[in-house]
Chain A
Amino acid sequence: MQNLKVIAQGARYRGGNPMWSWLLHRVTGVGMVLFVVAHITASFLTQRFGSGAGMAINAVYESPAFQLVMYFCVIYHALNGLRVIILDIRPSLMRFQRETLWLQWLTFVPIYALAVLLILLRAASGE
């Protein structure tokens, strides 16, 4: 109930695009941490015990759907992080925050599109 109230308050807060980029930065960051923890655990289980559990975790993140999500997380988090660093070094650029967000998506789209194309081509070839 408490959580629902917080979510309702958050939805009413009109932070606009900078708010969504902040939220997406958190979600993609936590996503990467969970993936790396799963990856280290799976490698450890497979190497030390040769266990099926490690292979089962491997199968999840080798699937094309998982890769599409993870490439999104890495490319978005890296580009948004660099944008934040630049704005922190030159705070006067905050006037152009809207433009920096547009520039970030203009950079993101071609890189992510290439990744999506390569992942889908690979999935289609059945490797």
Chain B
Amino acid sequence: MQPVHSRRPRVTLDMVMWVFTRVSGAAIVVIALIGFFGAMLMGARTQMDLPTLMRWTFFPNPNHVVNSNIPDVAIGWSGPFWQTLQILIVLFGATHGLNGLRAVLEDHFRGPRILPAIRAVLFVVWLLVMAIAVAVVLAD
């Protein structure tokens, strides 16, 4: 008989995504707070309205703030720091959101044929979102 501690449970997709959901959820909150307070430090209070500030908070891309009173978005509102945050929030956000959608759908649809179909569709959507996001972020 094997001792209890050597019986290793098989790692499943759901176990990995359970941990990922918590880590990415906390990371999204932190990235959004960096975007929000970063914008405030750069003068957002007098330079933009609330919708513009929120667009920047959740995706710090210069195109999101170009229609504001910022004199030049090339100064401070672009560059590798904000590009890194954009990539990170899309990676965490798209994976967290589409995996959440997978969890909800798999609770409501059961069956040997529909489950792989759901996963295939969500995987293609995930790849598309990531590809579009990288193209948008690197375009600046």
Contact = CB atoms under 8 A, between A and B. Distances in A.
Interface of A: 26, 29-30, 32-33, 36-37, 40, 44, 62, 67, 78, 81-82, 84-85, 88, 118-119, 122, 127
Given A30-B101, A81-B25, A36 B93 contact: yes
Nearest to B58: A74
B50 interface: yes
Given A30-B104, A33-B97, A127 B49 contact: yes
Given A33-B97, A33-B101, A82-B25, 20 more contacts: A26-B104, A29-B100, A29-B101, A30-B101, A30-B104, A33-B98, A36-B93, A36-B94, A36-B97, A37-B125, A44-B132, A62-B51, A67-B51, A78-B25, A78-B28, A78-B29, A81-B29, A82-B29, A85-B22, A88-B22
B138 interface: no
A85 to B, nearest CB: 5
15 contacts: A26-B104, A29-B104, A30-B100, A30-B104, A33-B98, A33-B100, A33-B101, A36-B93, A37-B125, A40-B129, A40-B132, A44-B132, A67-B51, A82-B29, A85-B26
B97 A119 contact: no
Contacts, number: 42
Nearest to B100: A29
B50 A118 contact: yes
Interface of B: 22, 25-26, 28-29, 49-51, 93-94, 97-98, 100-101, 104, 125, 129, 132
B28 to A, nearest CB: 8
Given A36-B97, A78-B29, A82-B26, A119 B50 contact: yes
A85 B101 contact: no
B50 A122 contact: yes
Contacts of B93: 36
Contacts of B29: 78, 81-82
Of all A-B residue pairs in the complex, the 4 with the closest CB atoms, nearest first, are A33-B97, A81-B25, A29-B100, A85-B22
Nearest to B23: A85
Nearest to A114: B50
B55 to A, nearest CB: 10
